[in-house]
Amino acid sequence: MQLKRVVVTGLGALTPIGNNVASYWEGLKSGKSGAGPITHFDNTHFKTKFACELKGYNAEDYFDRKEARKLDKFAQYAMVAADEAIADAALPLDSLDKFRVGVIWGAGIGGLETFQNEVLNYAAGDGTPRFNPFFIPKMIADIAPGNISIKHGFMGPNYATVSACASSSNALIDAMNYIRLGHCDVIVSGGSEAAVTIAGMGGFNAMHALSTRNESPETASRPFDASRDGFVLGEGAGALILEEYEHAVARGAQIYCEVMGGGMTSDAHHMTAPHPEGIGVVRVMENCLRDAGMTPDQVDAINTHGTSTPLGDVAELKAISKVFGSHAPNININSTKSMTGHLLGAAGAIEAIASILAMKHSLVPPTINHTVADPNIDSSLNLTLNKAQAREVNVAMSNTFGFGGHNACVLFKKLNA
């Protein structure tokens, strides 16, 4: 069958370096760090005392007090970003066939703070099970797309993808395929996460995954640098409106780019560590290119998973060199996690947005905080270090990988480029 074309017609972002798409882009192009001391809870006894929190976020700016109490932060963030994307796309909500509008959303964890607080409250009590009646609906990962659909009346496919840090990239790929196959006209897709909590920080510290550069939080996320010592936890959401091309053209929609293809693989290797030979990462990029019907030499930019971990960064860059060969040094490779931190299940969404904005503005955001070259990294690669680089970007790739060996890759292209 002839697959439908899929385009992006709206964007929404709530990130540690900007609470909407415009401010997020300003933060990206200027190389702004979103890291700072934790304010959400007392960090006195934690090994890592900093994170990339949202700045100036107040739930009551977006929800009435009663509604906000029914929503975990991860679901609040989802609704805020989705609302911005829907408005940006100028979707004609009154005339859409809402049975052909879906919501496919990614979250690696879901309502962690809700779960944490309910358990703490129970443990502090007398053993009588007194739980908030909203405990379960606040906690489950699929409540985010559920609430988006309820608010706007979208009655197409509605579910959450959960694949750790690849979750929102998986959501985008699923959304693309539903539209390609003719099942939907529009899908709200993306991801959200709110794991800067006692349990989140404590859990990641226990597995030695986080940076402990407490003396300089703003420089702690340093992908590809020889002195990197772990990732910096972030929070927030990203939303994209994916739309069938003819449907978008018929209503005169703005079109940011075309979604050309996606790839998914598994390392089948280790609970948390990447495959040392990068087999799954090599194959996921190859699958993505094949799905898009494109060749390696057409790719101009890659927003890497690039978490700032000793093993992961090297494995990913080796995989890129293998897939792209002699063209690899011509690609602007970057990691926007150097600025936003790692948003876990929301990472793929905000990084897809960064890739799309790089195409729109012909500017690749930098990988900040690089000071010492890693001898294990090919020095011929252009890692877009410390300053944004101007260049025409017609094709951009976004990589995300998750605990459990989940790999996802999405490819975007300027329309008719």
Active centre residues (catalytic): 165, 305, 342
33-58 burial, b for 16+ CB within 10 Å, e for fewer? bbbeebebeebeebebbbbbbbeebe
200: number of CA atoms within 13 Å, CB side? 30
List of long-range contacts for 279-283, beta carbons under 8 Å, 24+ apart: 280/405, 280/407, 281/315, 281/316, 281/319, 281/399, 281/401, 281/407, 282/319, 282/322, 282/323, 283/407
Q: Which of 105, 91, 175 is nearest to 146 (CA)?
A: 105
Count CA atoms within 13 Å of residue 362 on its CB side: 3
Please give the structure tokens belonging to residue 127: 């053993």
**What does residue 57 show for φ and ψ, rounded to 5 degrees?**
-80, 125
CA atoms within 13 A on the CB side of 400: 35
- Pairing of the two strands 6-14 and 257-266: antiparallel
What whole-number distance in Å separates Cα of residue 233 and Cα of residue 38? Answer: 10
- In sequence order, the β-bridge partners of residue 236 are 193
- Contacts with 127 (C-beta within 8 Å, 6 or more apart), sequence order: none
CB atoms within 10 A of CB 390: 10
